[in-house]
């Protein structure tokens, strides 16, 4: 890996996360193009990154995660929620829960209806397929031979099979491929793993590209803003090992810092709501009221069940013998609990009247804990969480001050609408319905969270307000659209600015109905193609 920051490149990409690694790797396929990829975090040498279940150790790691904290959330009893985000090569794909789910075709068709020409499902499917090396046979919907390994979850836990059966008894169809013709149903997800190892975008896309002389991957390089000349982006300011540097971009700058950092970088660079910029003494380059607005996330509320038999993982994790057995299973077969994703079974279902496609997703885990992480309960337990797939509530990312190292302020504004509250309550009720089915009810000793006493809507909502947490999918803060108010146009160009694009979760006009990593990788793929097409046009002109 390069250790000296080049002074100039054709393209400067900020942020080596899910999208940024893809953009840099794809652009540098052309040996005549010089690419610099800047990453605020370090290299991905921590071994817990590569062990799939290592996310329990890495997601709150002070060096590997930005560990954001929301402002007090008015509809969640004024609690402040921790928002981990990757701060390392691979970004959040280096510490995420590994689930590979694209969302619904309706999500992308909706983007197209919002004016995002070129982003319907038919338009984006080739990019999903291009990135993917699925261990299942290729098909109309599934890609093989791409850089990103996608594999079936290797689990045969009887509790998971029992849960799936109970969901089927509750009327939810069995689904073995959430990226297949329909998302609705219950089953186990595919994961971004191969042979028991995590496939982050750093491993999938950067590692094979690292030896290219035209690609400089610079870690520990915190970008503090975009260099502007009038309305043109000409480079990026960087702080590295105490030094303040500038790298010039002769063609374009691409921001891939994620849904919190990309809007922050635009604001620091004078692109954002004029009043907010003035408040922090930042000269206005372009008044863009939508920068940092339209923040969306998936909120999850959990139900925990005590079991009357020693099933699931809690017992094994809490005993030395059990731990050793899991370790041995991993070493010998590269499977078992150490390879599990953050949901070992998922449900996609409809709980609101009139929903044409699933409006909730469940993540089922055959273990339980007080909060996401490695500390499991001493009793035998299991967890099922629900999240609303298409929340109406919108939050904001704003600057705390003009210091590029100060964390931006996050107002997630969860549960601001009646529909959102209703959807979360109905999700919990559907979990209860599943857990009452004959396949699983005899194994349940009791509902630990929220507890059977929480019967009414008010009691369930009180549980949601008191305990819910993020499921880590912030997006939408540099909204793409066909309208003049959107932050980026359908070619991901920041409106009114030359030579500046954004490609990451922040451009999603609406959060996709599922886990967001696959969609971010697709955005990276498409951005690289758009850049290549623009370069060709410039040459031809
Ligand atoms: C704990 C956790 C679990 C998750 N589980 C799943 C899951 O199971 N499945 C799924 O599909 N999705 C999951 N997600 C969500 C998914 O991983 C993210 O939506 C996706 O990775 C976001 O991609 P991105 O490109 O927008 O940003 P990121 O991948 O976060 O990348 C942004 C990168 O930019 C860097 N950066 C930021 N600011 C600067 C700066 N100023 N200068 C230089 N570099 C900068 C960051 O350090 C980071 O490396 C999870 C996320 C988390 C955090």
Domains and CATH numbers, the chain: 1-147+193-295+396-405+474-541 (3.50.50.60), 154-187+299-388+415-467 (3.30.410.40)
pLDDT of residue 530: 98
Ligand 1 pocket residue status of 85, Cβ below 6 Å: yes
50 among known catalytic residues: no
CA of 16 to the centre of ligand 1 (A): 9
CA of 26 to the centre of ligand 1 (A): 19
CA of 425 to the centre of ligand 1 (A): 29
- In this structure, the number of other CB atoms found within 10 A of the CB of residue 121 comes to 18
- CB proximity list for 155: less than 8 A, separation 6 or greater: 188, 335, 336, 337, 339, 340, 344
Phi-psi region of 47 (alpha: psi -120 to 50; beta: other; left: phi over 0): alpha
CA of 390 to the centre of ligand 1 (A): 20
Helix axes 105-113, 121-131, angle to 10 degrees: 130
Q: Whose CA is nearest to atom 14 of ligand 1?
A: 96
Q: Whose CA is nearest to atom 35 of ligand 1?
A: 15
Q: Residue 101 CA: which ligand 1 atom is closest?
A: 11
pTM above threshold 0.95: yes
Q: Which residue has the tokens 């950067």?
A: 206
Ligand 1 pocket residue status of 502, Cβ below 6 Å: no
CA of 41 to the centre of ligand 1 (A): 12
User: What tokens does 205 get?
Assistant: 């896309």
* In contact, 419 and 337? CB cutoff 8 Å: no
Cα angle, residue 134 at apex, residues 132 and 136 outer, rounded to 5° = 155
Q: Where are the alpha helices (DSSP H) in 334-413?
A: none
- CB proximity list for 537: less than 8 A, separation 6 or greater: none
User: What tokens does 34 get?
Assistant: 């010089």
Ligand 1 pocket residue status of 15, Cβ below 6 Å: yes
pLDDT of residue 539: 85
Ligand 1 pocket residue status of 296, Cβ below 6 Å: no
* In contact, 52 and 338? CB cutoff 8 Å: yes
pLDDT of residue 533: 97
Ligand 1 pocket residue status of 372, Cβ below 6 Å: no
Distances in whole angstroms, Cα of residue 132 to Cα of each of 145, 205, 212, 357, 507? 7, 11, 22, 25, 22
pLDDT of residue 2: 67
Catalytic residue among 61, 110, 298, 473: 473
C-alpha 514, offset from chain centre: 9
Q: What is the pLDDT along the chain (541 residues), one digit of tens a residue?
A: 667 899 999 999 999 999 999 999 999 999 999 999 999 999 999 999 999 999 999 999 999 999 999 999 999 999 999 999 999 999 999 999 999 999 999 999 999 999 999 999 999 999 999 999 999 999 999 999 999 999 999 888 999 999 999 999 999 999 999 999 999 999 999 999 999 999 999 999 999 999 999 999 999 999 999 999 999 999 999 999 999 999 999 999 999 999 999 999 999 999 999 999 999 999 999 999 999 999 999 999 999 999 999 999 998 888 899 999 999 999 999 999 999 999 999 999 999 999 999 999 999 999 999 877 778 999 999 999 999 999 999 999 999 999 999 999 999 999 999 999 999 999 999 999 999 999 999 999 999 999 999 999 999 999 999 999 999 999 999 999 999 999 999 999 999 999 999 999 999 999 999 999 999 999 999 999 999 999 999 888 8
Q: Whose CA is nearest to atom 49 of ligand 1?
A: 91
Ligand 1 pocket residue status of 342, Cβ below 6 Å: yes
């Amino acid at each position: 890996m390069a250790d000296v920051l080049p002074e100039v490149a054709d393209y400067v990409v900020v942020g080596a996360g899910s999208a940024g690694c893809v953009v840099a790797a794809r652009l540098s396929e052309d040996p005549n193009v010089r690419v610099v990829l800047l990453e605020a975090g370090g290299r991905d040498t921590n071994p817990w990154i590569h062990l799939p279940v290592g996310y329990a150790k890495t997601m709150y790691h002070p060096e590997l995660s930005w560990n954001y904290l929301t402002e007090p959330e008015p509809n969640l009893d004024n609690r402040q929620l921790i928002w981990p985000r990757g701060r390392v090569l691979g970004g959040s794909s280096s510490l995420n829960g590994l689930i590979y789910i694209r969302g619904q075709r309706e999500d992308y068709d909706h983007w197209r209806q919002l004016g995002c020409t070129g982003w319907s499902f038919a338009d984006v499917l080739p990019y999903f397929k291009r990135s993917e090396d699925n261990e299942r046979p290729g098909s109309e919907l599934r890609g093989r031979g791409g850089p990103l390994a996608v594999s079936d979850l290797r689990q045969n836990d009887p509790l998971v099979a029992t849960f799936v059966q109970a969901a089927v008894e509750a009327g939810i169809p069995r689904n073995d491929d959430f990226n297949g013709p329909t998302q609705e149903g219950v089953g186990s997800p595919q994961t971004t793993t191969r042979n028991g190892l995590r496939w982050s975008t750093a491993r999938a896309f950067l590692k094979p590209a690292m030896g290219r002389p035209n690609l400089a991957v610079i870690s520990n390089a915190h970008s503090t803003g975009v260099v502007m000349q009038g309305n043109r982006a000409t480079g990026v300011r960087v702080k590295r090992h105490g030094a303040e540097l500038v790298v010039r971009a002769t063609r374009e700058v691409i921001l891939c810092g994620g849904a919190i950092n990309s809007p922050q970088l635009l604001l620091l660079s004078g692109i954002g709501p004029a009043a907010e910029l003035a408040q922090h003494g930042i000269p206005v380059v372009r008044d863009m009221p939508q920068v940092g607005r339209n923040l969306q996330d998936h909120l999850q509320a959990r139900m925990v069940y005590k079991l009357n038999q020693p099933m699931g993982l809690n017992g094994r994790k809490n005993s030395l013998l059990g731990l050793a057995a899991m370790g041995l299973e991993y070493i010998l077969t590269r499977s078992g609990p150490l390879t599990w994703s953050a949901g070992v079974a998922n449900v996609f279902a409809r709980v609101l009247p009139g929903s044409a496609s699933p409006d909730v997703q469940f993540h089922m885990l055959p273990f339980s804990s007080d909060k996401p992480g490695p500390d499991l309960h001493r009793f035998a337990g299991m967890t099922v969480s629900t999240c609303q797939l298409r929340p109406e509530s919108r939050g904001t990312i704003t600057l705390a001050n003009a210091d590029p190292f100060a964390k931006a302020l996050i107002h997630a504004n969860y549960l601001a609408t009646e529909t959102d509250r209703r959807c979360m309550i109905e999700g919990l009720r559907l979990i209860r319905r599943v857990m009452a089915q004959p396949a699983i009810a005899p194994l349940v000793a009791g509902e630990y969270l929220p507890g059977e006493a929480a019967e009414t809507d008010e009691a369930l909502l009180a549980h949601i307000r008191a305990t819910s947490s993020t499921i880590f999918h912030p997006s939408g803060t540099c909204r793409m659209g066909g309208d003049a108010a959107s932050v980026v146009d359908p070619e991901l160009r920041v409106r009114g600015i030359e030579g500046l694009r954004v490609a990451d979760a922040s451009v999603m006009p609406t959060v996709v109905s599922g886990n967001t990593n696959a969609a971010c990788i697709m955005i990276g793929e498409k951005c690289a193609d758009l850049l290549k097409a623009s370069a060709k046009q410039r040459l031809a002109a």
